[in-house]
Amino acid sequence: MAISIQYWANYTAEKPKLMRKSDNAVISNHVLKFLFDQETKTIHSVIQASMRNTSYKVTANLGNSYEVSNTSCECPLGKYECHHVASALLYGYKCVSKTDIKCGWLKNTKTSIKKDIKTMEE
């Protein structure tokens, strides 16, 4: 689990309809794409609309104290709290795998070339 359930709980606090709709979207496999960047603590996701043949791009920035600091969604309610963002947060808790987390290259690899090695001729 890469994302704490606390982000979803704080985002949907005292909004049972938002909780229910986001849970239904995750159960119904409406989360089409999901990527979590640990460095910037940003979620990029694509969520299928519940009653249409449409999908919406979702972005959510996670804060340090389990708050969602900034969100965007292409849906009509995207400027406010929508269930697509809540679905991405819940999916990040329930279904995230290592392949959903953006990889970064290590700066100091374990197999780096040693400088003190000499060739046969030396």
pLDDT in tens, 41-100: 899 999 998 777 888 999 999 988 899 988 999 988 766 788 999 999 999 888 876 665
- The mean pLDDT value for 114-119 works out to 62
Determine contact, residues 7/65, Cβ cutoff 8 Å.
no
| Per-residue model confidence as pLDDT tens digits over 8-29 | 999 999 999 999 999 999 999 9
pLDDT number for residue 21: 92
Do the domain assignments include residue 35?
yes
In the chain the beta strands, taken as DSSP E runs, fall at 31-37, 42-48, 55-62, 68-73
Range of the domain at 72: 5-100
Quote the pTM value.
0.76
Do the domain assignments include residue 48?
yes
Do the domain assignments include residue 117?
no
How many domains would you assign to the chain?
1
Do the domain assignments include residue 93?
yes
Do the domain assignments include residue 111?
no
Q: Measured between alpha carbons, how far is 94 from 54 in angstroms, rounded to an integer?
A: 23
When the pLDDT of each residue in the chain is averaged and rounded to a whole number, the result is 81
Do the domain assignments include residue 82?
yes
Q: Which residues contact 67 (CB under 8 A, 6 or more apart)?
A: 7, 10
Do the domain assignments include residue 115?
no
**Tokens representing 4?**
């704490």
pLDDT number for residue 52: 73
3-class state of residue 63 by DSSP: coil
- The mean pLDDT value for 101-105 works out to 57
Do the domain assignments include residue 65?
yes
